[in-house]
Amino acid sequence: MKPAMRDRKSQLTIAAVACLLGLLVVVQLRGQAGGSALATKSPQDLTILVGNLNTENDRLRAQVTSLQNQLDELRADRANGATSVGQLESDLGRIRAWAGLDPIAGKGVTVQVSGEIDATAAVDLLNELRNAGAEAIAIEDIRLIARTTVSGVPGSLDIDGVLLRDPFVIRAIGTPETLVGSLTRAGGIVAQLSATNPAASVEVQPVDELMVLPATRRDLIPDHGHPRL
Amino acid sequence: MTLLAARLRAIPSWQITLGIALLVLGFLIAAQLAAEGPRIRYTTQERSPLVETALGLQSAQDTLKSRIVALRTALQEIEHQGAGSAAVVSGLNGRLEEARIAAGLIALTGTGIVLRFEDSTEPIAPGGNESDYLVGASDLRTVVALLWQTGAEAIAINGERVTGTTAIIDIGGSMLVNAAYIAGPYQVTALGPKDLFTRLSAAPGWEEFVRTRRGAFGIGVAWAEPESVDVPAYAGSVNLRASRAVPSPGPSASAGPGGSVP
Protein backbone atom coordinates (compact mmCIF):
# COMPACT_ATOMS: atom_id res chain seq x y z
CA MET A 1 0.00 0.00 0.00
CA LYS A 2 2.71 2.41 0.96
CA PRO A 3 4.60 2.24 -2.38
CA ALA A 4 1.28 2.76 -4.19
CA MET A 5 0.50 5.85 -2.11
CA ARG A 6 3.99 7.18 -2.69
CA ASP A 7 3.43 6.59 -6.42
CA ARG A 8 0.18 8.58 -6.33
CA LYS A 9 1.86 11.39 -4.43
CA SER A 10 4.76 11.46 -6.84
CA GLN A 11 2.39 11.36 -9.79
CA LEU A 12 0.47 14.33 -8.41
CA THR A 13 3.71 16.23 -7.87
CA ILE A 14 4.90 15.50 -11.40
CA ALA A 15 1.47 16.44 -12.77
CA ALA A 16 1.58 19.80 -10.94
CA VAL A 17 5.11 20.51 -12.15
CA ALA A 18 4.18 19.46 -15.71
CA CYS A 19 1.15 21.76 -15.56
CA LEU A 20 3.30 24.70 -14.51
CA LEU A 21 5.86 23.74 -17.13
CA GLY A 22 3.20 23.75 -19.86
CA LEU A 23 1.92 27.13 -18.72
CA LEU A 24 5.40 28.63 -18.83
CA VAL A 25 6.13 27.14 -22.26
CA VAL A 26 2.95 28.72 -23.62
CA VAL A 27 3.78 32.10 -22.01
CA GLN A 28 7.30 31.94 -23.38
CA LEU A 29 6.19 31.00 -26.89
CA ARG A 30 3.59 33.75 -26.95
CA GLY A 31 6.21 36.18 -25.74
CA GLN A 32 8.59 35.09 -28.49
CA ALA A 33 5.86 35.39 -31.10
CA GLY A 34 6.02 39.07 -30.25
CA GLY A 35 2.39 40.10 -30.36
CA SER A 36 2.85 43.76 -31.05
CA ALA A 37 6.31 45.21 -31.51
CA LEU A 38 4.88 48.22 -29.73
CA ALA A 39 5.08 46.39 -26.42
CA THR A 40 8.83 46.89 -26.32
CA LYS A 41 8.77 50.62 -27.08
CA SER A 42 9.71 53.19 -24.47
CA PRO A 43 7.07 55.72 -23.29
CA GLN A 44 9.00 58.44 -25.17
CA ASP A 45 8.88 56.49 -28.45
CA LEU A 46 5.22 55.70 -27.92
CA THR A 47 4.43 59.37 -27.28
CA ILE A 48 6.17 60.38 -30.52
CA LEU A 49 4.36 57.59 -32.37
CA VAL A 50 0.96 58.62 -30.99
CA GLY A 51 1.66 62.26 -31.94
CA ASN A 52 2.63 61.29 -35.50
CA LEU A 53 -0.35 59.00 -35.93
CA ASN A 54 -2.71 61.68 -34.59
CA THR A 55 -1.39 64.32 -36.99
CA GLU A 56 -1.52 61.99 -39.98
CA ASN A 57 -5.00 60.77 -39.10
CA ASP A 58 -6.21 64.40 -38.98
CA ARG A 59 -4.80 64.89 -42.50
CA LEU A 60 -6.42 61.69 -43.69
CA ARG A 61 -9.80 62.67 -42.21
CA ALA A 62 -9.59 66.01 -44.01
CA GLN A 63 -8.76 64.13 -47.22
CA VAL A 64 -11.73 61.77 -46.75
CA THR A 65 -14.05 64.77 -46.23
CA SER A 66 -12.64 66.54 -49.28
CA LEU A 67 -12.98 63.44 -51.49
CA GLN A 68 -16.47 62.74 -50.19
CA ASN A 69 -17.52 66.34 -50.98
CA GLN A 70 -16.02 66.05 -54.47
CA LEU A 71 -17.85 62.80 -55.05
CA ASP A 72 -21.16 64.23 -53.77
CA GLU A 73 -20.81 67.30 -56.02
CA LEU A 74 -19.97 65.18 -59.04
CA ARG A 75 -22.95 62.93 -58.40
CA ALA A 76 -25.26 65.92 -57.93
CA ASP A 77 -23.92 67.57 -61.12
CA ARG A 78 -24.42 64.37 -63.00
CA ALA A 79 -27.96 63.97 -61.71
CA ASN A 80 -28.73 67.56 -62.80
CA GLY A 81 -27.05 67.07 -66.15
CA ALA A 82 -24.58 69.82 -65.26
CA THR A 83 -20.99 69.96 -66.42
CA SER A 84 -18.24 68.57 -64.22
CA VAL A 85 -15.41 70.12 -66.21
CA GLY A 86 -14.66 72.75 -63.55
CA GLN A 87 -14.22 70.18 -60.85
CA LEU A 88 -12.13 67.91 -63.05
CA GLU A 89 -9.83 70.85 -63.81
CA SER A 90 -9.56 71.73 -60.14
CA ASP A 91 -8.73 68.13 -59.25
CA LEU A 92 -6.19 67.94 -62.06
CA GLY A 93 -4.50 71.17 -60.97
CA ARG A 94 -4.22 70.02 -57.37
CA ILE A 95 -2.82 66.57 -58.21
CA ARG A 96 -0.34 67.94 -60.78
CA ALA A 97 0.95 70.51 -58.30
CA TRP A 98 1.24 67.94 -55.51
CA ALA A 99 3.08 65.52 -57.81
CA GLY A 100 5.51 68.21 -58.96
CA LEU A 101 4.20 68.34 -62.53
CA ASP A 102 3.11 71.98 -62.13
CA PRO A 103 4.64 74.87 -60.19
CA ILE A 104 3.32 75.43 -56.69
CA ALA A 105 3.10 78.54 -54.51
CA GLY A 106 3.00 79.07 -50.76
CA LYS A 107 4.76 80.25 -47.64
CA GLY A 108 7.46 78.19 -45.97
CA VAL A 109 11.16 78.30 -45.26
CA THR A 110 14.50 78.71 -46.98
CA VAL A 111 17.45 76.66 -45.81
CA GLN A 112 20.84 77.90 -46.94
CA VAL A 113 23.60 75.29 -46.78
CA SER A 114 27.17 76.58 -46.95
CA GLY A 115 30.42 74.66 -46.89
CA GLU A 116 31.04 70.97 -47.36
CA ILE A 117 28.16 68.66 -46.52
CA ASP A 118 27.86 65.00 -47.39
CA ALA A 119 25.02 63.53 -49.44
CA THR A 120 23.61 61.57 -46.49
CA ALA A 121 23.32 64.76 -44.44
CA ALA A 122 21.56 66.52 -47.31
CA VAL A 123 19.13 63.59 -47.65
CA ASP A 124 18.50 63.66 -43.88
CA LEU A 125 17.72 67.38 -44.09
CA LEU A 126 15.20 66.82 -46.89
CA ASN A 127 13.70 63.90 -44.97
CA GLU A 128 13.20 66.13 -41.93
CA LEU A 129 11.47 68.79 -44.05
CA ARG A 130 9.10 66.12 -45.37
CA ASN A 131 8.51 64.81 -41.87
CA ALA A 132 7.64 68.34 -40.72
CA GLY A 133 4.89 68.49 -43.34
CA ALA A 134 6.53 70.26 -46.29
CA GLU A 135 4.11 70.09 -49.22
CA ALA A 136 6.74 70.85 -51.84
CA ILE A 137 10.53 71.25 -51.85
CA ALA A 138 13.03 72.59 -54.36
CA ILE A 139 16.81 72.71 -54.24
CA GLU A 140 17.83 75.79 -56.21
CA ASP A 141 15.56 75.48 -59.26
CA ILE A 142 15.08 71.73 -59.15
CA ARG A 143 11.75 70.57 -57.81
CA LEU A 144 12.01 67.50 -55.61
CA ILE A 145 9.93 64.51 -56.58
CA ALA A 146 10.00 60.95 -55.25
CA ARG A 147 12.74 59.93 -57.72
CA THR A 148 15.04 62.86 -56.93
CA THR A 149 18.39 61.75 -55.53
CA VAL A 150 21.29 63.61 -54.02
CA SER A 151 24.72 62.08 -54.55
CA GLY A 152 28.39 62.96 -54.81
CA VAL A 153 31.07 63.80 -52.29
CA PRO A 154 31.18 66.79 -49.91
CA GLY A 155 31.95 69.91 -51.86
CA SER A 156 30.56 68.59 -55.14
CA LEU A 157 27.08 67.27 -54.46
CA ASP A 158 24.75 66.83 -57.35
CA ILE A 159 21.02 66.58 -57.50
CA ASP A 160 19.65 64.50 -60.35
CA GLY A 161 22.98 64.98 -62.11
CA VAL A 162 23.11 68.79 -61.68
CA LEU A 163 26.10 70.02 -59.67
CA LEU A 164 25.15 72.11 -56.64
CA ARG A 165 27.05 75.34 -56.04
CA ASP A 166 28.24 76.49 -52.63
CA PRO A 167 26.14 77.77 -50.91
CA PHE A 168 22.92 76.21 -52.15
CA VAL A 169 19.39 77.03 -51.06
CA ILE A 170 16.53 74.66 -50.30
CA ARG A 171 13.03 76.13 -50.43
CA ALA A 172 10.18 74.27 -48.79
CA ILE A 173 6.49 75.14 -48.73
CA GLY A 174 4.56 74.45 -45.55
CA THR A 175 3.63 76.14 -42.30
CA PRO A 176 6.69 78.34 -41.63
CA GLU A 177 6.60 78.04 -37.82
CA THR A 178 6.25 74.25 -37.95
CA LEU A 179 9.08 73.85 -40.44
CA VAL A 180 11.44 76.21 -38.60
CA GLY A 181 10.58 74.64 -35.23
CA SER A 182 11.15 71.11 -36.50
CA LEU A 183 14.51 71.88 -38.09
CA THR A 184 15.98 74.05 -35.34
CA ARG A 185 14.74 72.32 -32.17
CA ALA A 186 17.33 71.21 -29.64
CA GLY A 187 18.88 67.97 -30.91
CA GLY A 188 17.10 68.43 -34.24
CA ILE A 189 18.53 68.00 -37.71
CA VAL A 190 20.37 71.34 -37.82
CA ALA A 191 22.08 70.60 -34.51
CA GLN A 192 22.94 67.09 -35.71
CA LEU A 193 24.38 68.39 -38.98
CA SER A 194 26.51 70.94 -37.13
CA ALA A 195 27.96 68.08 -35.11
CA THR A 196 28.52 65.65 -37.97
CA ASN A 197 29.47 68.17 -40.67
CA PRO A 198 31.54 70.82 -38.87
CA ALA A 199 32.70 72.26 -42.21
CA ALA A 200 29.12 73.16 -43.13
CA SER A 201 26.67 75.71 -41.83
CA VAL A 202 22.89 75.59 -42.15
CA GLU A 203 20.75 78.71 -41.90
CA VAL A 204 16.97 78.43 -41.65
CA GLN A 205 14.71 81.41 -42.41
CA PRO A 206 10.90 81.53 -42.35
CA VAL A 207 9.30 82.96 -45.49
CA ASP A 208 5.95 84.65 -44.96
CA GLU A 209 5.51 85.71 -48.57
CA LEU A 210 4.48 83.46 -51.41
CA MET A 211 7.31 81.50 -52.97
CA VAL A 212 6.80 79.78 -56.30
CA LEU A 213 8.58 76.45 -56.73
CA PRO A 214 9.05 75.26 -60.32
CA ALA A 215 7.65 72.09 -61.84
CA THR A 216 9.89 69.10 -62.42
CA ARG A 217 11.22 68.57 -65.91
CA ARG A 218 11.21 64.80 -65.53
CA ASP A 219 8.73 62.43 -67.08
CA LEU A 220 7.00 60.56 -64.26
CA ILE A 221 5.06 58.03 -66.30
CA PRO A 222 6.60 54.58 -65.75
CA ASP A 223 7.87 52.63 -68.76
CA HIS A 224 7.96 49.26 -66.98
CA GLY A 225 4.59 49.14 -65.27
CA HIS A 226 0.93 49.73 -65.87
CA PRO A 227 -2.07 50.40 -63.63
CA ARG A 228 -3.13 47.33 -61.69
CA LEU A 229 -6.73 46.53 -62.39
CA MET B 1 32.93 4.48 -7.40
CA THR B 2 30.83 1.38 -7.11
CA LEU B 3 29.23 2.92 -3.99
CA LEU B 4 28.24 6.04 -5.93
CA ALA B 5 26.84 3.96 -8.77
CA ALA B 6 24.87 1.90 -6.32
CA ARG B 7 23.44 5.04 -4.64
CA LEU B 8 22.51 6.52 -8.02
CA ARG B 9 20.76 3.30 -8.97
CA ALA B 10 18.87 3.47 -5.69
CA ILE B 11 17.22 6.83 -6.59
CA PRO B 12 13.60 6.20 -7.59
CA SER B 13 12.75 6.97 -11.20
CA TRP B 14 10.00 9.44 -10.19
CA GLN B 15 12.59 11.55 -8.43
CA ILE B 16 14.75 11.65 -11.55
CA THR B 17 11.72 12.67 -13.65
CA LEU B 18 10.79 15.34 -11.13
CA GLY B 19 14.38 16.57 -11.03
CA ILE B 20 14.52 16.97 -14.83
CA ALA B 21 11.13 18.69 -14.86
CA LEU B 22 12.25 21.13 -12.16
CA LEU B 23 15.45 21.82 -14.10
CA VAL B 24 13.44 22.69 -17.24
CA LEU B 25 11.07 24.76 -15.09
CA GLY B 26 13.98 26.73 -13.66
CA PHE B 27 15.37 27.33 -17.14
CA LEU B 28 12.01 28.56 -18.41
CA ILE B 29 11.51 30.89 -15.46
CA ALA B 30 14.99 32.33 -16.02
CA ALA B 31 14.31 32.75 -19.75
CA GLN B 32 11.00 34.45 -19.04
CA LEU B 33 12.57 36.85 -16.56
CA ALA B 34 15.39 37.64 -18.98
CA ALA B 35 12.90 38.35 -21.75
CA GLU B 36 10.93 40.65 -19.47
CA GLY B 37 14.07 42.46 -18.35
CA PRO B 38 14.20 45.37 -20.83
CA ARG B 39 10.43 45.81 -20.69
CA ILE B 40 10.46 46.17 -16.94
CA ARG B 41 12.81 49.11 -17.32
CA TYR B 42 10.26 50.82 -19.58
CA THR B 43 7.23 49.99 -17.52
CA THR B 44 5.34 53.04 -16.38
CA GLN B 45 1.71 53.55 -15.52
CA GLU B 46 1.09 55.35 -18.80
CA ARG B 47 2.84 52.89 -21.16
CA SER B 48 -0.02 50.44 -21.47
CA PRO B 49 -2.62 53.12 -22.34
CA LEU B 50 -0.11 54.55 -24.84
CA VAL B 51 0.24 51.17 -26.56
CA GLU B 52 -3.53 50.86 -26.69
CA THR B 53 -3.82 54.41 -28.09
CA ALA B 54 -1.14 53.76 -30.72
CA LEU B 55 -2.80 50.50 -31.78
CA GLY B 56 -6.17 52.24 -31.99
CA LEU B 57 -4.75 55.13 -34.04
CA GLN B 58 -2.92 52.75 -36.39
CA SER B 59 -6.12 50.81 -36.91
CA ALA B 60 -8.02 54.06 -37.56
CA GLN B 61 -5.31 55.08 -40.04
CA ASP B 62 -5.66 51.81 -41.93
CA THR B 63 -9.42 52.31 -42.13
CA LEU B 64 -9.03 55.93 -43.31
CA LYS B 65 -6.55 54.89 -45.99
CA SER B 66 -8.85 52.16 -47.26
CA ARG B 67 -11.66 54.73 -47.36
CA ILE B 68 -9.48 57.16 -49.34
CA VAL B 69 -8.55 54.49 -51.88
CA ALA B 70 -12.23 53.55 -52.25
CA LEU B 71 -13.31 57.19 -52.66
CA ARG B 72 -10.61 57.83 -55.27
CA THR B 73 -11.74 54.77 -57.21
CA ALA B 74 -15.37 55.95 -57.04
CA LEU B 75 -14.31 59.43 -58.19
CA GLN B 76 -12.39 58.02 -61.13
CA GLU B 77 -15.38 55.95 -62.18
CA ILE B 78 -17.81 58.86 -62.02
CA GLU B 79 -15.36 61.19 -63.77
CA HIS B 80 -15.14 58.78 -66.66
CA GLN B 81 -18.91 59.05 -67.02
CA GLY B 82 -18.69 62.87 -66.68
CA ALA B 83 -21.17 65.19 -68.28
CA GLY B 84 -20.25 68.21 -70.42
CA SER B 85 -18.45 68.28 -73.71
CA ALA B 86 -17.41 64.69 -74.36
CA ALA B 87 -14.13 65.69 -75.99
CA VAL B 88 -13.18 68.07 -73.15
CA VAL B 89 -14.10 65.57 -70.45
CA SER B 90 -12.29 62.76 -72.23
CA GLY B 91 -9.16 64.91 -72.55
CA LEU B 92 -9.33 65.92 -68.89
CA ASN B 93 -9.84 62.35 -67.79
CA GLY B 94 -6.81 61.23 -69.76
CA ARG B 95 -4.70 63.93 -68.13
CA LEU B 96 -6.11 63.11 -64.70
CA GLU B 97 -5.19 59.47 -65.16
CA GLU B 98 -1.64 60.45 -66.13
CA ALA B 99 -1.35 62.86 -63.20
CA ARG B 100 -2.56 60.20 -60.79
CA ILE B 101 -0.05 57.69 -62.12
CA ALA B 102 2.74 60.28 -61.86
CA ALA B 103 1.67 61.17 -58.32
CA GLY B 104 1.63 57.53 -57.19
CA LEU B 105 -2.13 57.52 -56.59
CA ILE B 106 -2.66 54.45 -58.76
CA ALA B 107 -1.36 50.96 -57.96
CA LEU B 108 1.05 49.64 -60.57
CA THR B 109 2.16 46.22 -61.70
CA GLY B 110 5.19 45.38 -63.80
CA THR B 111 8.72 44.06 -63.77
CA GLY B 112 10.91 44.71 -60.76
CA ILE B 113 12.48 43.35 -57.62
CA VAL B 114 11.71 42.76 -53.96
CA LEU B 115 14.35 43.40 -51.31
CA ARG B 116 14.04 42.26 -47.72
CA PHE B 117 15.96 43.60 -44.73
CA GLU B 118 16.03 42.13 -41.23
CA ASP B 119 17.63 43.08 -37.95
CA SER B 120 20.86 41.26 -37.18
CA THR B 121 20.80 38.13 -35.05
CA GLU B 122 24.50 38.39 -34.28
CA PRO B 123 25.60 39.16 -30.73
CA ILE B 124 26.55 42.77 -30.13
CA ALA B 125 30.32 43.16 -30.06
CA PRO B 126 31.80 44.40 -26.78
CA GLY B 127 31.52 48.19 -26.76
CA GLY B 128 29.27 48.01 -29.84
CA ASN B 129 26.13 50.04 -30.44
CA GLU B 130 22.88 48.09 -30.45
CA SER B 131 21.32 50.34 -33.10
CA ASP B 132 24.03 49.30 -35.59
CA TYR B 133 22.53 45.81 -35.49
CA LEU B 134 19.02 47.02 -36.37
CA VAL B 135 17.67 48.06 -39.75
CA GLY B 136 17.34 51.83 -39.49
CA ALA B 137 15.54 54.56 -41.42
CA SER B 138 18.87 55.68 -42.89
CA ASP B 139 19.35 52.15 -44.29
CA LEU B 140 16.01 52.29 -46.07
CA ARG B 141 16.62 55.86 -47.27
CA THR B 142 19.96 54.68 -48.73
CA VAL B 143 18.34 51.70 -50.44
CA VAL B 144 15.49 53.80 -51.83
CA ALA B 145 17.97 56.38 -53.21
CA LEU B 146 20.05 53.60 -54.82
CA LEU B 147 16.94 52.11 -56.40
CA TRP B 148 15.91 55.47 -57.89
CA GLN B 149 19.47 55.98 -59.16
CA THR B 150 19.51 52.60 -60.87
CA GLY B 151 16.21 52.98 -62.67
CA ALA B 152 13.32 52.18 -60.30
CA GLU B 153 10.09 53.88 -61.34
CA ALA B 154 7.91 53.16 -58.29
CA ILE B 155 8.80 51.97 -54.78
CA ALA B 156 6.86 50.80 -51.73
CA ILE B 157 8.12 49.90 -48.26
CA ASN B 158 5.95 47.36 -46.42
CA GLY B 159 3.02 48.47 -48.58
CA GLU B 160 3.61 52.21 -48.16
CA ARG B 161 4.17 53.92 -51.51
CA VAL B 162 7.16 56.25 -51.60
CA THR B 163 6.17 59.68 -52.97
CA GLY B 164 7.72 63.13 -53.09
CA THR B 165 6.40 63.87 -49.61
CA THR B 166 7.36 60.56 -47.97
CA ALA B 167 9.50 60.76 -44.84
CA ILE B 168 11.16 57.65 -43.43
CA ILE B 169 11.99 58.08 -39.76
CA ASP B 170 13.17 55.91 -36.88
CA ILE B 171 10.97 55.31 -33.93
CA GLY B 172 12.54 53.12 -31.26
CA GLY B 173 13.76 50.24 -33.42
CA SER B 174 10.83 50.47 -35.85
CA MET B 175 9.89 53.09 -38.42
CA LEU B 176 7.31 55.53 -39.65
CA VAL B 177 6.83 55.70 -43.42
CA ASN B 178 4.19 58.15 -44.64
CA ALA B 179 3.44 58.50 -40.89
CA ALA B 180 2.36 54.83 -40.86
CA TYR B 181 4.00 52.61 -38.24
CA ILE B 182 5.91 49.69 -39.74
CA ALA B 183 8.07 47.05 -38.08
CA GLY B 184 10.64 44.65 -39.50
CA PRO B 185 11.30 42.67 -41.52
CA TYR B 186 11.21 45.45 -44.09
CA GLN B 187 10.20 44.64 -47.63
CA VAL B 188 11.08 47.12 -50.35
CA THR B 189 9.25 46.52 -53.61
CA ALA B 190 10.60 48.35 -56.64
CA LEU B 191 9.10 48.47 -60.09
CA GLY B 192 11.59 49.06 -62.89
CA PRO B 193 13.48 47.51 -65.79
CA LYS B 194 13.97 43.75 -65.92
CA ASP B 195 17.65 44.13 -65.10
CA LEU B 196 17.01 46.37 -62.10
CA PHE B 197 18.80 44.06 -59.69
CA THR B 198 21.81 43.75 -62.01
CA ARG B 199 21.99 47.54 -62.16
CA LEU B 200 21.56 47.85 -58.40
CA SER B 201 24.20 45.27 -57.56
CA ALA B 202 26.64 47.00 -59.93
CA ALA B 203 26.21 50.32 -58.10
CA PRO B 204 29.15 51.11 -55.78
CA GLY B 205 26.71 52.35 -53.15
CA TRP B 206 24.97 48.95 -52.97
CA GLU B 207 28.25 47.10 -52.65
CA GLU B 208 29.23 49.44 -49.82
CA PHE B 209 25.82 49.09 -48.16
CA VAL B 210 25.97 45.29 -48.20
CA ARG B 211 29.57 45.29 -46.99
CA THR B 212 29.02 47.73 -44.13
CA ARG B 213 25.60 46.59 -42.97
CA ARG B 214 25.52 42.85 -43.66
CA GLY B 215 29.26 42.23 -43.50
CA ALA B 216 29.99 44.26 -40.40
CA PHE B 217 26.78 43.91 -38.41
CA GLY B 218 24.92 40.93 -39.82
CA ILE B 219 21.89 42.85 -41.11
CA GLY B 220 19.79 40.39 -43.12
CA VAL B 221 19.68 41.32 -46.81
CA ALA B 222 17.73 39.19 -49.29
CA TRP B 223 16.25 39.80 -52.71
CA ALA B 224 13.98 38.23 -55.28
CA GLU B 225 13.20 38.92 -58.91
CA PRO B 226 9.64 37.68 -59.39
CA GLU B 227 7.87 37.65 -62.75
CA SER B 228 6.07 40.81 -61.78
CA VAL B 229 5.74 43.04 -58.75
CA ASP B 230 2.78 45.03 -57.44
CA VAL B 231 3.31 48.48 -56.00
CA PRO B 232 0.28 49.82 -54.10
CA ALA B 233 -1.18 53.30 -54.51
CA TYR B 234 -0.35 56.09 -52.09
CA ALA B 235 -3.30 56.25 -49.74
CA GLY B 236 -2.39 59.44 -47.90
CA SER B 237 -3.57 63.00 -48.24
CA VAL B 238 -2.86 65.09 -51.35
CA ASN B 239 -4.67 68.15 -50.05
CA LEU B 240 -2.79 71.40 -50.52
CA ARG B 241 -3.20 73.19 -47.20
CA ALA B 242 -0.28 75.59 -47.18
CA SER B 243 0.06 75.97 -50.93
CA ARG B 244 -1.82 76.38 -54.15
CA ALA B 245 -1.30 75.11 -57.64
CA VAL B 246 0.20 77.45 -60.22
CA PRO B 247 -0.84 76.41 -63.70
CA SER B 248 2.08 75.60 -65.97
CA PRO B 249 2.65 77.94 -68.88
CA GLY B 250 2.23 76.31 -72.25
CA PRO B 251 -0.09 73.64 -73.57
CA SER B 252 -0.64 71.92 -70.21
CA ALA B 253 -1.81 75.16 -68.56
CA SER B 254 -5.47 74.38 -68.56
CA ALA B 255 -5.35 73.08 -65.01
CA GLY B 256 -7.20 75.33 -62.62
CA PRO B 257 -6.05 76.23 -59.15
CA GLY B 258 -6.51 73.77 -56.33
CA GLY B 259 -6.22 74.27 -52.61
CA SER B 260 -5.74 77.67 -51.07
CA VAL B 261 -3.15 79.65 -49.24
CA PRO B 262 -4.35 80.30 -45.72
Chain A interface includes B215 (CB < 8 A): no
> What average pLDDT does the segment B21-42 reach?
63
Mean of the per-residue pLDDT values for chain B?
84
pLDDT tens, residue by residue, A8-56 = 777 777 778 777 777 777 766 655 544 467 777 788 888 888 888 888 8
> What average pLDDT does the segment A195-209 reach?
92
pLDDT the model gives residue A173: 97
In B, which residues are within 8 Å of A53 by CB distance?
54, 57-58, 61, 179, 181
> What average pLDDT does the segment B61-68 reach?
91
pLDDT the model gives residue B249: 63
Residues 6+ positions from B109 with CB-CB distance below 8 Å: A225, A226, A227, A228, B191, B228, B229, B230, B231
Contact call for residues B182 and B175 (beta carbons, < 8 A): yes
Q: Where are the beta strands (DSSP E) in chain A?
A: 104-115, 136-139, 142-143, 150-153, 156-159, 162-163, 168-173, 200-213, 225-227
Domain boundaries of chain B, sorted by first residue: 2-37, 48-103, 108-231
pLDDT tens, residue by residue, A113-140 = 999 898 999 999 999 999 999 999 999 9
Q: Which residue has the higher pLDDT, B100 or B91?
A: B100
Confidence of residue B80 (pLDDT cuts 50, 70, 90): confident
Contact call for residues A120 and B138 (beta carbons, < 8 A): yes
Nearest Cα residue in chain B from A93:
B255
Interface contact flag, B110 A120, Cβ < 8 Å: no
pLDDT tens, residue by residue, A133-184 = 999 999 999 999 999 999 888 888 999 889 999 899 999 999 999 999 999 9
Residue A1 pLDDT more than 80?
A: no
Interface contact flag, A64 B67, Cβ < 8 Å: yes
Chain A interface includes B85 (CB < 8 A): yes
Residues 6+ positions from A48 with CB-CB distance below 8 Å: B171
DSSP code of B233? P
Contact call for residues A146 and B162 (beta carbons, < 8 A): yes
Confidence of residue B142 (pLDDT cuts 50, 70, 90): very high
Interface contact flag, B176 A173, Cβ < 8 Å: no
What is the pTM for the complete model shown? 0.77
pLDDT tens, residue by residue, A11-20 = 777 778 777 7
pLDDT the model gives residue B261: 34
pLDDT the model gives residue B39: 42
Regarding an ipTM greater than 0.90, the answer is: no
Residue B134 pLDDT more than 50?
A: yes
The answer to whether domain B108-231 has CATH 3.30.70.1880 is yes
Confidence of residue A6 (pLDDT cuts 50, 70, 90): low
User: Within a 10 A sphere around the Cβ of B196, how many other Cβ atoms?
Assistant: 22
Interface contact flag, B240 A102, Cβ < 8 Å: no
Task: For residue A165, report the phi and psi dihedrals to the nearest 5 degrees.
Answer: -85, 170
Report percent pLDDT > 90 for chain B: 51
The A residues from 69 to 128 touching B (CB cutoff 8 Å) are 70-71, 74-75, 77-78, 81-86, 88-108, 120, 123-124, 127-128
- Distances from the Cα of B185 to the Cα of A171, B120, B173, angstroms: 35, 11, 11
What is the rounded distance in angstroms from the CA atom of residue A156 to the CA atom of residue A168? 11
pLDDT the model gives residue B256: 37
